[in-house]
Structure 1
Amino acid sequence: MKERHLGRSGLLVSRLGLGTMTWGQDTDAEEAAEQLTTFVDAGGTLVDTADVYNGGESERILGRLLRERVDRDRLVVATKAAIRPNGRYDGSRRHLLRALDASLDRMDLDHVDLWQLHVYDPATPLEETLSALDEAVASGRTRYVGVSNYAGWQISKAAAWQRAWPGRSPVVSAQLEYSLLRRDIEREVVPATVDAGAGLLAWSPLGRGVLTGKYRTGIPAGSRAAAAHYSEFVQPYLDEECARIVESVVTAAEGLGRSPVAVALAWVRDRPGVAAPVVGARTAAQLGVILESEDLTLPNEIRAALDDVSDTSTGSP
């Protein structure tokens, strides 16, 4: 698998990241182990988790696998903080540094490679939140820092603050939802990310699973849309407009002799500013289909057709 620099930093990451949001809930430890070894064997390096994923179980499973199955030095380990277990946003220095210590304990690591602010906390001064990033880097608990789910102005403000004084840790990544079904971030957020020198990590690049084509004729049993804890997450992408885009992806896939998954991932992977899509799979078999996107570069005419059918450029940012 090819690698890319994460933004304007020196950190190289695989151009496909493995998300672990399902680990510890829909994906058990043995299935997670198979996923991780499959991913690493394919040349993948970037593995993304968060302190709140399934009560910390995702981090615990990843930590065990780093001890027992995969050489930790082969991976770029990324995690996040800023959400309390009760769902409250908390960007305070106190919470963030305690959350990072707890993440390191769960994974049995002395540092992570990328530590990200999971959300923007409007109740905490941004300079206080960012000071936690500087402390985390200075203390050796993380090598790089980034943000997640920030608006364009929030990314710009954070990046400018970090550049304003020597010794502060630059924001090297911004993790955002981005797919053929979610292109509104191209109006403001993507330009802000690129201007800040951060690499875009695209979460849910398969449109919350809808771009696989599995929902074309209904909601399959066992799918996320059929699960009580995920149905509201998927529902916004089951409308007629999204269905039209899915049909275009399926048509393109049939013409190329590839899967809709490969087409949708290749599209977002090669968008300006993107360092890597971060894809979560429930099973190793699903991950195998995802990895088939690595050798696909979309022909210009197909890319243009998908750009056109999914365009959301009208209107102001």
Structure 2
Amino acid sequence: MQTRALGRTGLQVSRLGLGTMTWGRATDEHEARDQLIAFAEAGGTLVDTAASYGDGASEELIGSLIGDVVARDEIVLATKAGLVRRGDGRRVDTSRGHLIPTLDRSLRRLGVDHVDLWQVHVWSDRTPLEETLSALDLAVSSGRASYVGISNYAGWQTAQAATWQRAVPGRTPLASTQVQYNLLERAVETEVVPAAQALGLGVLPWSPLAGGVLTGKYRTGTPGDSRAADPAWTARVDSYLDEDGRGIVEAVARAADGLGWSPLEVALTWVRDRPGVTAPIVGARTATQLRAALGVEQLELPPEIVAALDDVSD
């Protein structure tokens, strides 16, 4: 798999990342192992998790596989902090007093002495931005993290955070921002992506297939073995399937038919090659689904197809 620099840094990552949000919950140890093997065999390196995924279960599962399935130096390990999930509820805390201990717990669960990329999971108005960013500086200066980034920040928040970090020598520049980005959700193109490009941040799209909607699997209903069959996911999938969304899904399907590709390949290749994007984060339910996504490595959309998809999804 080809690699790309993460923003304006020297960190090279595979141009597809492996998402692990369901690991330790819906994705068990055996399935996770199969996915990581498939990802590593395809040349993938960027593995993304978070302290809040399964209340730490995702990190623990990854930690159990490092050294067994893959060597530590063969992956770019990324995690996040600042979002705490308890059951169906969630709490945001981006204070330095919460972030640093959370990182230490992440390192213990992962079984490593540092992560390659540590990200603030969400923005919070309750904590001064300079305090949040000081935690990122401390993580790097103490050797706990090699690079730092942000996640789910609006355009002005991205610009403010990145500018603050570049304003004074000694602060650690932000390497990346992770945001929802796909053919059904292009709002980040208005301000977030331009801010990231101007300030040297790589863009890591999460949900690049819109929760599987862009694969076309929901065109005629909800398969019983799909995520949307789970009540916890139904609302999210339904939010994509309004009249405009269905039109975009049909356009992806028509493009796929014309190219002899799958809708997954069309949608994933489109977002992978958007300006400013470093690596979409792909979270698959099974290793078979992941291998289908990894198959886009040799694909490139014709310019006329890109223009048509841009038009219908604008």
**Mapped pair 1:296 → 2:312:** no
SS in 2 for 1:195: helix
SS in 2 for 1:113: strand
Q: Which amino acid aligns with 2:41?
A: D
**1:238 & 1:111 partners in 2: Cα distance?**
41
- Which consecutive residues of structure 2, in runs of 5 or more, have no partner in the other structure? none
Match of 2:203 in 1: 200
Structure 1 range deviating more: 80-89 or 30-39: 80-89
Contact 1:268 1:277 in 2 (8 A): yes
SS in 1 for 2:266: helix
Match of 2:55 in 1: 55
TM-superposed CA distance for 1:72, in Å, is 1.0
CA offsets per residue over residues 197-231 of structure 1, 9 Å max, x none? 10000000001110000000011112121102211
CA offsets per residue over residues 72-99 of structure 1, 9 Å max, x none? 1010000000012341110100100000
Match of 2:179 in 1: 176
SS in 2 for 1:302: helix
Q: Which amino acid aligns with 2:175?
A: V
Match of 1:133 in 2: 136
Match of 1:45 in 2: 45
Q: 1:266 aligns with which of 264, 269, 274?
A: 269
Match of 2:219 in 1: 216
TM-superposed CA distance for 1:69, in Å, is 1.4
TM-superposed CA distance for 1:193, in Å, is 1.2
**1:243 & 1:85 partners in 2: Cα distance?**
32
Q: 1:101 aligns with which of 104, 111, 134?
A: 104
CA offsets per residue over residues 25-51 of structure 1, 9 Å max, x none? 111011100100100100000000000
Structure 1 range deviating more: 167-176 or 216-225: 216-225
SS in 2 for 1:57: helix
TM-superposed CA distance for 1:126, in Å, is 0.3
**2:81 & 2:190 partners in 1: Cα distance?**
27
**Mapped pair 1:146 → 2:149:** yes
**2:26 & 2:111 partners in 1: Cα distance?**
23
> Please, what is the CA RMSD of the aligned residues?
0.8
Contact 2:55 2:84 in 1 (8 A): no
Match of 1:314 in 2: none
Q: Which amino acid aligns with 1:134?
A: D
Contact 2:165 2:172 in 1 (8 A): yes
Match of 1:4 in 2: 4
Q: What is the TM-score of this pair, normalised by structure 1?
A: 0.97
SS in 2 for 1:275: coil
**1:294 & 1:251 partners in 2: Cα distance?**
21
Runs (4+) of structure 1 exceeding 3 A deviation are none
- Which consecutive residues of structure 1, in runs of 5 or more, have no partner in the other structure? 312-317
TM-superposed CA distance for 1:289, in Å, is 0.7
Q: 1:307 aligns with which of 304, 310, 313?
A: 310
**Mapped pair 1:16 → 2:19:** no
TM-superposed CA distance for 1:167, in Å, is 1.0
Q: Summarize the alignment of residues 24-43 of structure 1 with structure 2, pairs less than 5 Å apart.
A: 24-43=24-43
CA offsets per residue over residues 79-137 of structure 1, 9 Å max, x none? 00001234111010010000000000101110000000000011000000000000000
Contact 2:252 2:267 in 1 (8 A): yes
Paired residues, what number? 311
**Mapped pair 1:233 → 2:236:** yes
Contact 1:155 1:196 in 2 (8 A): no
TM-superposed CA distance for 1:67, in Å, is 2.8
**1:144 & 1:51 partners in 2: Cα distance?**
17
